Structure 1
């Protein structure tokens, strides 16, 4: 596992850049608490030895938790994971998330070094139920993905997914658009992606950038009931500051989805702007289109930006504070383009079960019927 991540081999010309990239690669495997690469002179003229010093961390976890958010109310989580199965680097995850709004169960397996082809293989299975005010939907399915390095810091990937989705429990007062979604449909798609990642530390980032381009094609030659094309561009960058050991983070994302073959875009493939991962200070999807009942129904295009100042609160435990400003919206045409704005503060903690985010967002220009603040909780990386 260690040798595969090193960018220097015996007999290579020494490079400080390659040494630093090797250190970053080892750190980002998430197998080690601490990573240090030291050089020392040898008796042979012009040659150095490199000592790789690592402290392994516990890669297997069993965890349970509970929390609360304005959107999900009381929530419970549980997970079983092994991120270095039998010392091979293989990863296995089993997760559960239960709240009044969401029931989610998923399994994933990652083989990071598939044979000698320099490919990583991913397999996922899931069952997901989302409860809205005027309807519910359930989906289950899985995905198969391949990822290959193209050059240093850049990877190309392809993913196939198949989902069976059922929209049900539609209220009498629901809008005509939501009533049209009732029934069972399938999505069969291929997604091509390119990623350039120079983030210094995935669990505790402070510098570097992340850029991703994705293009998903559903239906047509791949079958299924839903036919659409969905391109998405994402870019995020961390800027380290000398002040307090803090950093700035900026992220932007733009995406669209277009149907073809005489089909319509189903509600669960539209963009829902508003919430923890888009524009904070708004409930899920509420910075986009709503029907006459006030239910978020998503849009065929999205644009949003996040800006954060991240600062340490208690370094030994990885506790950080964040002050943020978000702007963005969902829209179907330029006439509907209406940027919404949110700001707030939060806490980030690198907990034993992963990065924990607690954030309170304020709607800076609330419209009639909108909440002025939203509290959110999640576990996972930011970018």
Structure 2
């Protein structure tokens, strides 16, 4: 039967034999004649006993004793301490005997195997990377205790603060031991309640949405962000500070974070005590030059800050970046922009003077990159707008650090400038820690219109360490099958020029219609910035679109318009999209605008000569202390065929454009055909209004509500001769829908329940008063 032995702490030290060794050396000194304590010892011989694995020379090196050299009692005790501190021995004795010093040791055993017992949440392989004890190495009680603490910390990082780890040893023959870590994982320590004190401008509900930490909800066993992790609290404090600062609360502070353990010791109550301070707005904005010969007027032209807008550090940083770009264009490498802020407490404004000054002449000596085993240096290096030999700009280095973090390739990244070889030289040290960037995903989706669907995807965000994105996806539904391959090179020629290549193969089988479709295509494109928030995409598309089996076995039941469109067409088109988007990264975090305009011209060969134009204008704003988000959108499109009539595959059907109707539920329809086919239209236009707001439910449920109203239409056909020769009504007939939505951020994915009612519709329209969409990956 195995004999297990516990160790650790003071009692472990005594059992290990170190304390008896100290007693032995003390007794040895006591046995000497009293006058010897006042004399130095001189040993002509050092004899070592008890060692079998550790060489004599190694022990003598630890002791630091040279033959024939006089030693005091204190020095002899230091020698003993050095041998004991080596961690190689279970017991040590130093026994002076005349001119001979006898060193008796009992060697620590070697570790035979290391086992982990009781662990289910963390695999053995992962725990093996946490500890430092290794098989076939000398056993150390102190190291085993440190390893147990490291394992407990790994569980604490997962929110299991009650995890307990006990190291045990099992003696084997040949002075060997098995080291076993007995683990009691305990339960996840959850955040039962997140609360705030001192907040007046924003509600608890709004602030909880800012934090990375979440409250435990009804799916607490599946959600990880409701686990208490101490390090995450510091991150949450910074998130709160950034949130308030971006809204003009420049004096905001998190005074304290109180964490109270529940009586059952399985949950925390976390309270953030904050001081909001006064909200400031921008007052007088000026540009001043202290750089001889520099006219501030040119720099003032790039400033977009509005008087009276909420003060925002992002607006300041953006303005400085633009002004420094003007300086670089003018060849002023060392011009620096210093914002000088004057507070006006009574008016609640901050006057900002952007002062143009001459900075120190410091250059970037080199950029050192470490820690990237897979990612190529150039992927990290191209995030810098600075190269070796350029003037050193601290702001640019900070921006580069943010761009490196935003890549998503690294678990941790640090960018630090250090002193170079000269006073005017700086070395930029980049240290990164890579993380996995590939994934194999399986997913499911459901919608009222299309039923259940399944998908599988394989993606790599850092292909071959080049920063390229590659994905292969297959989605199969009841009546649809979509597959595609995507390749993205984000920085062609190491510039902000994105190359994308898509290829797809999609089919439908009587999907809400009396026909089948097969669509195959490839589309390469380039995307690049035109300004801070404006981007352009140029693309080419080669596609084959086939309409088949119209009406199935009885084509006479279908509209002759669709029957005449049956067949395959090849199109070759060039197109562009210009978009302006301030929803992310805009100067005002409470509002954002999206403007998008696209055109595609088919006619560079192929069977189709056609122009397709679409436009979208959208604006959203957070109101009522940012608890409510309102959105307004206008969208429209036109398709015009130059060499014949458009086909149903090219026309607009209203799918996804106007809520409250089935797919193919609005627009021109051949009512004289047996199938009453929806024909689509050459034009569509829609205006949407929507508001999203809390429902008063606990934040941890992730449930909010919304109301919406859509007004629009699909109309216009080239050929209006339907079944029986009757004319199809393709007029602009407006539809109007109002509805209520329930949004649920569930563990299955984002769910949206739409309940709608059509206020204005045509008799032949097909409404859908309830809709549910869900998409999840597992």
TM-score computed with the length of structure 2 as normaliser: 0.41
Change (3 A) 1:356 1:165: same
Instruction: Report the equivalent of 1:258.
Output: 640
SS state of the match for residue 514, structure 2?
coil
Contact 2:445 2:775 in 1 (8 A): no
Instruction: Report the equivalent of 1:125.
Output: 503
Structure 2 runs not aligned, ≥5 long: 1-378, 417-427, 718-729
Distance in 2 of aligned mates of 1:7 and 1:161? 33
Tell me by how many angstroms 1:20 deviates: 9.1
Instruction: Report the equivalent of 2:27.
Output: none
**Counterpart check, 1:160 vs 2:556:** no
SS state of the match for residue 297, structure 1?
coil
Change (3 A) 1:68 1:268: same
Instruction: Report the equivalent of 1:267.
Output: 648
Distance in 2 of aligned mates of 1:270 and 1:52? 52
Tell me by how many angstroms 1:356 deviates: 3.5
Tell me by how many angstroms 1:191 deviates: 0.7
**Counterpart check, 1:228 vs 2:610:** yes
Comparing 210-219 and 71-80, the one that deviates more: 71-80
Distance in 1 of aligned mates of 2:758 and 2:463? 47
**Counterpart check, 1:327 vs 2:700:** no
Distance in 1 of aligned mates of 2:392 and 2:516? 61
SS state of the match for residue 654, structure 2?
coil
Query: Where do residues 188-337 of structure 1 align in structure 2 (5 Å cutoff)?
Result: 188-200=572-584, 207-219=591-603, 222-243=604-625, 245-260=627-642, 262-275=643-656, 278-292=657-671, 293-311=675-693, 321-332=705-716, 335-337=731-733
Tell me by how many angstroms 1:207 deviates: 3.9
**Counterpart check, 1:105 vs 2:472:** no
Change (3 A) 1:350 1:110: farther
Instruction: Report the equivalent of 2:463.
Output: 85
**Counterpart check, 1:373 vs 2:752:** no
**Counterpart check, 1:364 vs 2:761:** no
Distance in 2 of aligned mates of 1:98 and 1:240? 38
Contact 2:661 2:769 in 1 (8 A): yes
Contact 1:279 1:304 in 2 (8 A): yes
Tell me by how many angstroms 1:72 deviates: 0.2
Contact 2:570 2:608 in 1 (8 A): yes
SS state of the match for residue 658, structure 2?
coil
1:177 to 551, 561, 578: 561
**Counterpart check, 1:65 vs 2:458:** no
Distance in 2 of aligned mates of 1:33 and 1:237? 35
Tell me by how many angstroms 1:160 deviates: 0.6
Tell me by how many angstroms 1:167 deviates: 1.0
Comparing 5-14 and 77-86, the one that deviates more: 5-14
Structure 1 runs not aligned, ≥5 long: 39-49
Change (3 A) 1:180 1:106: same
Tell me by how many angstroms 1:230 deviates: 1.0
Tell me by how many angstroms 1:119 deviates: 1.5
Tell me by how many angstroms 1:342 deviates: 4.2
Distance in 2 of aligned mates of 1:281 and 1:35? 48
Instruction: Report the equivalent of 2:737.
Output: 341
Tell me by how many angstroms 1:218 deviates: 0.5
- Higher RCO (CA < 8 A, seq sep 6+): 1
Aligned residue-pair number: 359
Cα deviation, 1:277-326, whole Å, max 9, x if unaligned, reads x1111112323222223332211011112322234677679765543322
Contact 1:128 1:139 in 2 (8 A): yes
Distance in 1 of aligned mates of 2:536 and 2:499? 12
Distance in 2 of aligned mates of 1:164 and 1:379? 29
Change (3 A) 1:156 1:350: farther
Contact 2:455 2:475 in 1 (8 A): yes
Tell me by how many angstroms 1:225 deviates: 0.9
TM-score computed with the length of structure 1 as normaliser: 0.78
SS state of the match for residue 561, structure 2?
helix
Comparing 173-182 and 116-125, the one that deviates more: 116-125
Distance in 2 of aligned mates of 1:98 and 1:248? 35
More helix by share: 2
The alignment yields a C-alpha RMSD, in angstroms, of 4.0
Comparing 95-104 and 371-380, the one that deviates more: 371-380
Cα deviation, 1:95-149, whole Å, max 9, x if unaligned, reads 2222223211111111110113532100011111123431111111111001111
Contact 1:119 1:147 in 2 (8 A): yes
Distance in 1 of aligned mates of 2:558 and 2:468? 46
Contact 1:135 1:174 in 2 (8 A): no
Distance in 1 of aligned mates of 2:771 and 2:680? 21
SS state of the match for residue 522, structure 2?
strand
